[in-house]
Amino acid sequence: MSRFRALAAAVLLALGGLSVLSAPSAAAATSFSDDFDGPAGAAADGSKWNYETGDNNGNNHERQWYTAGAANAALDGQGHLVITAKRENSGHNCWYGACQYTSARLNTAGKFSQAYGHVETRMKLPRGQGMWPAFWMLGGGNWPADGEIDVMENIGREPNTVHGTIHGPGYSGANGIGAAYNGPNFSDDFHTYAVDWSPNKIVWSVDGNAYQTRTPADLNGNRWVYDHPFYLILNLAVGGDWPGDPDGGTQFPQQLVVDYVHVSTSASAPSGRIVGIGGKCVDVPWANPANFTQLQITDCNGNAAQNWTIGNDGTIRALGKCMDVNGAGTADGTAVQMYDCNNTAAQQWVVTAAHDIVNPHADKCLDAAGVSSANGTKLLLWTCTGNVNQKWNVNQ
């Protein structure tokens, strides 16, 4: 959908003959759910959704003005969110002059984001030339470097076709990588649209029928950026470069009717050792998970103090606590420690394809102090240098 845009992260397989601890099984759990229950005319749940307003900065030459509240996106009292595109004067100016259409666009930025899992919606699409409904995800505000996953897009002149696409650095906009699914007229009834997203793989499906799989091998050497949390977006655009503008045959109002949006975690989370300089393991000293216990490297020994789970929420966990930057600090030399999991930026980590473990808040790397591989060497936050003391193999 419209191209704006997060961070980077890829959980890596073990390298070079390292033995790998088996990951403990974990049942998939619901992480986000909205069934749009509520009284007719009410706005979407503000604890889950933000309403975007404006003309999308003229991106894609869309012609709508997005409105706030229930004006163009409201519950119908029957368990649906109805996004309505209208031909009307919004009282605002768009890129082309006085705006001729209104619609709505909602997102979960700052309220919900997730890496990996099953993302699904059930919707009935609008119809007619110039309609552009979409359910999609963005990895942040730096598009296309942060990535975009289009779970479902449709353009009104193709009522029997929906599209699933990824956009990233070197393959964005018209060069996005995706596929089409041909089926019934998707504006006649409700259908489910989903992706199953795991490290290094995304699978698209319609009504449970998988029709496309993408992996890093599909990117022609470009970077795979689908390795960190993305947030959700629902919208109905009017006009634009791809669908073209409405014509005399397009009837208004048009509605995108959303039955639900459900997200669940992956069935299991990567878990095992984190091995660094000298083949030493990231370790909780004396297996003591007390708050402020500073992490170290030491000989790998297979105990629970060296078994780390890479969470779907961006955390790295062991012994029931989270890897944490002391005081959410950003200075070189800030201690990396254990602390109660608290959903703060101090506990967000990105495992990159270059084998760095980065705290995005500080934009700094997990570092073994003094470029030392001695047992008991403390772990710090430090400016990323590419040195061997900042390279880690995260074992699944």
pLDDT tier, 8 (very low <50, low <70, confident <90, very high otherwise): very low
Listed by start position, the domains of the chain span: 30-264, 271-394
Could you tell me if 168 and 145 are in contact, meaning their C-beta atoms sit under 8 angstroms apart? yes
Question: Which CATH number describes the domain made up of 30-264?
Answer: 2.60.120.200
pLDDT tier, 10 (very low <50, low <70, confident <90, very high otherwise): very low
Residues 197-211 have pLDDT tens digits of 988 899 999 999 999
pLDDT, average across residues 69-87: 98
CA–CA dist 69, 47 (Å, integer) = 13
Cis amide prior to 253 (ω within 30 degrees): yes
pLDDT at 367: 98
Could you tell me if 171 and 283 are in contact, meaning their C-beta atoms sit under 8 angstroms apart? no
Is residue 250 over pLDDT 50? yes
- Using DSSP bridges, classify how beta strands 231-238 and 274-275 pair: parallel, antiparallel or unpaired: unpaired
Please say if 88 is a catalytic residue: no
pLDDT at 267: 60
For the purposes of burial, counting CB atoms within 10 Å of the CB of 136, is it exposed (0-12), middle (13-18) or buried (19 or more)? buried
Which of 3.40.50.920, 2.120.10.80, 2.80.10.50, 3.40.50.1370 would CATH assign to domain 271-394?
Answer: 2.80.10.50
pTM above 0.85, yes or no: no
Residues 349-371 have pLDDT tens digits of 988 888 999 999 999 999 999 99
Which residue out of 62, 88, 120, 148 is catalytically annotated? 148
pLDDT at 9: 31
Fold match between 30-264 and 271-394? Answer: no
- Using DSSP bridges, classify how beta strands 101-103 and 64-66 pair: parallel, antiparallel or unpaired: parallel
Residues 119-159 have pLDDT tens digits of 999 999 999 999 999 999 999 999 999 999 999 999 999 99
| Strand stretches in 143-190, DSSP E | 148-153, 161-167, 177-182
Q: Is the dihedral of CA 353, 354, 357, 358 positive or negative?
A: negative
Burial profile 214-234: b = 16 or more Cβ within 10 angstroms, e = fewer: beeeebeeebbbbbbbbbbbb
* Higher per-residue pLDDT: 86 or 264: 86
pLDDT, average across residues 235-255: 97
pLDDT, average across residues 24-39: 80
pLDDT at 268: 56
DSSP state of 7: -
pLDDT tier, 320 (very low <50, low <70, confident <90, very high otherwise): confident
pLDDT, average across residues 8-15: 29
DSSP string for residues in 198-241:
ETTEEEEEETTEEEEEE-GGGSTT-----SS-BEEEEEEEE--T
Number of H helices, E strands in the chain: 0, 32
Which residue, chain included where needed, has tokens 């878990």? 271
pLDDT tier, 103 (very low <50, low <70, confident <90, very high otherwise): very high
195: left (phi over 0), alpha (psi -120 to 50) or beta: beta
DSSP state of 56: G
- Using DSSP bridges, classify how beta strands 201-206 and 209-214 pair: parallel, antiparallel or unpaired: antiparallel
pLDDT at 20: 27
| Strand stretches in 5-47, DSSP E | 30-34
Is residue 271 over pLDDT 90? no
Is residue 269 over pLDDT 50? yes
Could you tell me if 130 and 245 are in contact, meaning their C-beta atoms sit under 8 angstroms apart? yes
Mean residue pLDDT of the chain comes to 90
CA–CA dist 166, 142 (Å, integer) = 15
pLDDT tier, 6 (very low <50, low <70, confident <90, very high otherwise): very low
pLDDT at 289: 87
Identify the three-state secondary structure at position 278: helix
Which residue out of 52, 62, 88, 153 is catalytically annotated? 153
Question: Which amino acid is residue 94, in one-letter code?
Answer: C
